[in-house]
């Protein structure tokens, strides 16, 4: 029977939310209990701040515990686009931050004793067309020259050592990337934030954020409280209580399936080096082995955020995509299917800073495990009064062209068609 809940949720027990009295006042109210919010709450509490984390659902409910657990270097955009937009110096700092983010995840896992199967398995990007592999070669040169970051090209003839699929035209390996169990990592951050002194409240959907003397008043489903500072860490679930951010973030649906446990020999045939794998399309697939030898296979099967109907439809689409990549899985049962909502800014970049008086970090565009950790900690340091070198706070955060967006993503069918067209002509 197909389970329409994230596979990862069956591997973890989240800590219970705080059961004590509702706080009347705190130093910092963190909205959202995903990786970003929990990393910030831990940092702030360690610095002595009174912190309340306010979660609309259950702790860790959103994208942080639903994703593929890929902890990747780099950003959504390529180096050429970043150089043209931000210049070489700032682009180098942005890329260096993406690498430092993985080191930070590894440090937190070790320091807090988080059992989340973290491993530096590296990532493999596979070329769907010969032209994409030629672009990989140019990218490898740029990585070495501009970022002092070596990556390795894999010719088509050598791909069997990396992946058990014959449909690709070569690959690019970055050994610095990692994989983990995202639900266990998120739960571990929640426990770490609690140990540091933060209080975590579930079923506390924030309904209004209003300026008040000395800070803000937040109205939630459980009551009101005042806070000197507010940190918004709601990702693709950013909503009307913070209208300025709501107009800058587009929620994009992402969907995942996971097979039954596979025989050891078959699992190793699919992914001999246990890489985090994704392809070179705009409308991409990403996949990996789980620690118990399932194949997890995800992608943008539909752009709209998840509903029971889109999850079921996407499960069928993703299974067909999985069999195109790995026809040897034709007899394997799909046991899990689920969806989640990613946060995309209009420039496809992560952003961190302050807007309308509230602090924020969001817009990860599918690179959220590492960068959410990194920006959560950086914003925690900033709100706590430290001077922080944060390149993501220096890039412009534009909204929709001509202001034609109020938070309702009416244009998603057009965007989906456009990206499918780009994949066809590229």
Instruction: Kindly report the CATH number assigned to the domain that includes residue 127.
Output: 3.50.50.60
| Entry pTM | 0.95
Long-range contacts of residues 287-291, Cβ cutoff 8 Å, at least 24 apart: 287/68, 287/322, 287/325, 288/68, 288/69, 288/70, 288/179, 290/7, 290/181, 290/258, 291/117, 291/181
Secondary structure of residue 339 in the 3-state scheme? strand
405 within domain boundaries:
no
Crossing angle for the helix pair 182-196 and 368-383, to the nearest 10 degrees:
10
Distance CA 32, CA 55 (A): 5
2 within domain boundaries:
no
Distance CA 33, CA 38 (A): 6
pLDDT given at position 390: 96
264 within domain boundaries:
yes
pLDDT given at position 418: 58
In a structure prediction context, what are the per-residue pLDDT tens digits for the chain, which is 426 residues long? 899 999 999 999 999 999 999 999 999 999 999 999 999 999 999 999 999 999 999 999 999 999 999 999 999 999 999 999 999 999 999 999 999 999 999 999 999 999 999 999 999 999 999 999 999 999 999 999 999 999 999 999 999 999 999 999 999 999 999 999 999 999 999 999 999 999 999 999 999 999 999 999 999 999 999 999 999 999 999 999 999 999 999 998 899 999 999 999 999 999 999 999 999 997 899 999 999 999 999 997 566 677 788 899 999 999 999 999 999 999 999 999 999 999 999 999 999 999 999 999 999 998 899 999 999 999 999 999 999 999 999 999 988 887 778 777 766 666 666 556 566 666
* CA dihedral of residues 199, 192, 97, 297 (deg, nearest 10): -100
Q: Burial level of 330, CB count in 10 A (0-12/13-18/19+)?
A: exposed
298 within domain boundaries:
yes
410 within domain boundaries:
no
406 within domain boundaries:
no
DSSP per residue, 207-226: EEEEEETTEEEEEETTEEEE
126 within domain boundaries:
yes
Question: What's the total number of domains in the chain?
Answer: 1
On whether the CB atoms of residues 350 and 362 are closer than 8 A, the answer is: yes
Is the torsion defined by CA of 205, 209, 213, 214 positive or negative? positive
pLDDT given at position 124: 98
Q: By residue range, what is the domain housing residue 52?
A: 7-398+415-425
On whether the CB atoms of residues 407 and 243 are closer than 8 A, the answer is: yes
pLDDT given at position 74: 95
Q: What is the longest distance spanned by two Cα atoms in the chain?
A: 66
pLDDT given at position 426: 67
Distance CA 281, CA 367 (A): 16
**Strands of 171-326, DSSP E:** 171-174, 178-179, 199-201, 206-212, 215-220, 223-232, 249-259, 276-279, 285-289, 295-299
pLDDT given at position 412: 63
Q: Report angle CA 271, 273, 278 to the nearest 5 degrees.
A: 55
Residue for token digits 């937040």? 218
Distances (CA, A) of 232 to 3, 86, 210, 259, 420: 31, 25, 14, 35, 32
pLDDT given at position 400: 83
394 within domain boundaries:
yes
Q: Identify the bridge partners of residue 171 per DSSP, sorted by sequence position.
A: 126, 154
pLDDT given at position 415: 63
């Amino acid at each position: 029977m197909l389970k329409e809940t994230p596979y990862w949720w069956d591997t973890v027990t989240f800590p219970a939310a705080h059961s004590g009295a509702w706080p009347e006042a705190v130093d910092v109210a963190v909205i959202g209990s995903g990786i970003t919010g929990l990393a910030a709450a831990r940092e702030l509490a360690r610095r002595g701040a009174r912190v309340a984390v306010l979660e609309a659902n259950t702790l860790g409910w959103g994208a942080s515990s639903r994703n593929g657990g890929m902890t990747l270097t780099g950003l959504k955009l390529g180096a050429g686009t970043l150089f043209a937009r931000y210049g070489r110096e700032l682009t180098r700092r942005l890329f260096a931050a993406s690498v430092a983010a993985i080191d930070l995840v590894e440090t937190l896992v070790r320091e807090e004793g988080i059992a989340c199967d973290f491993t530096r398995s590296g990532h493999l990007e596979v070329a769907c067309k010969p032209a994409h592999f030629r672009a990989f070669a140019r990218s490898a040169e740029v990585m070495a020259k501009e970022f002092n970051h070596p990556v390795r090209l894999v010719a088509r003839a050598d791909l069997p050592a990396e992946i058990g699929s014959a449909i690709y035209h070569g690959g690019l390996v970055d050994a610095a990337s990692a994989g983990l169990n995202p639900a266990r990592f998120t739960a571990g951050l929640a426990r770490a934030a609690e140990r540091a002194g933060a209080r975590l409240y579930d079923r506390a959907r924030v309904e209004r954020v209003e300026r008040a003397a000395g800070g803000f008043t937040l109205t939630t489903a459980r009551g009101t409280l005042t806070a000197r500072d507010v940190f918004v860490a709601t990702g693709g679930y950013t909503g009307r209580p913070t209208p300025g951010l709501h107009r800058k973030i587009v929620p994009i649906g992402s969907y995942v399936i996971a097979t039954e446990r596979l025989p050891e020999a078959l699992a190793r045939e699919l992914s001999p080096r246990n890489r985090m794998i994704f392809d070179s399309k705009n409308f991409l697939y990403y996949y990996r082995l789980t620690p118990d030898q399932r194949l997890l296979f995800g992608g943008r099967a539909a752009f709209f955020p998840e509903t029971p109907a889109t999850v079921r439809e996407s499960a069928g689409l993703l299974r067909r995509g999985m069999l195109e990549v790995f026809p040897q899985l034709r007899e394997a049962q799909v046991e899990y299917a689920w969806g989640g909502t990613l946060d995309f800014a209009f420039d496809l970049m992560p952003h961190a800073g302050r807007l309308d008086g509230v602090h924020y970090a969001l817009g990860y565009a599918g690179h959220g495990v590492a960068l959410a950790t990194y920006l959560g900690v950086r914003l925690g340091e900033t709100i706590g009064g430290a001077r922080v070198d944060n390149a993501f706070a220096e890039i412009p955060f534009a909204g929709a062209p001509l202001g034609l967006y109020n938070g309702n993503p009416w244009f998603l069918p057009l965007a989906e068609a456009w990206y499918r067209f780009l994949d066809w002509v590229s």
